Amino acid sequence: MTLIYFMLLFLFLVAIGLIVAFFVLARQIGILFERIAPMGAMVSDHGPKVGDRSPSFMLSSLTADETVEVGVARDKAMLVFFLSPTCPICKKLLPILRSVRDTENDWMDVVLASDGEEDKHRRFIANAGLSDFPYVLSTELGLAYRVARLPFAVLVGKDGVIRSKGLVNSREQLESLFNAHDLGVDSIQAYLENA
């Protein structure tokens, strides 16, 4: 009889051990998934192509009494970052955008762009502390670049030509737009295919 109790206790401990091992493995799979994210921004074939002249817009900023000119020749490149107040990945990338703006400000400006109800965006700007970014609302801007999913970024060169663009979900993907610009290629994926 004691042998049966011993076996039941042993099987119970084995079952507990298997449950713990399952959760440890599930966590490791999640970590691996984050580490092997695709290299470079996910390029979209829709809208104006890399190397094409950007559509030009003159838009009012919600954060300052200024007009933001997108797609025109200027003394710095411009990163147009499309986001939404309801996009969790966009919110995760905001500290990264601040860092990029501060480190790359000698050659590039960062503009936040979205569409929708102005009141919701003003609350989002206040809650997320985005008053130091130019923030524009324009449905036409998103349509011109054929933005289908967020967060999406377009890097427009000083000459008003689109240098790189794509869906960005991480710092690496955002920085791949700058690397593509520096290398003079459409995307990091295109560079790797031709290397």
pLDDT (0 to 100) of residue 91: 95
What are 87-101's pLDDT values in tens digits?
999 999 999 999 999
pLDDT (0 to 100) of residue 159: 94
pLDDT (0 to 100) of residue 4: 86
d(CA 1, CA 130): 70
What are 141-158's pLDDT values in tens digits?
999 999 989 999 999 999
CB 64 within 8 A of CB 134: yes
d(CA 29, CA 191): 29
pLDDT (0 to 100) of residue 42: 64
Length of the chain measured in residues: 195
* Average pLDDT taken over every residue of the chain: 89
What are 33-90's pLDDT values in tens digits?
666 555 556 666 678 998 999 999 999 999 988 999 999 999 999 999 999 999 999 9
pLDDT (0 to 100) of residue 68: 95
> Could you tell me which residue, 181 or 166, shows the higher pLDDT?
166
Between the alpha carbon of residue 41 and those of residues 10, 37, 153, 171, 188, the distances in Å are 51, 10, 9, 10, 8
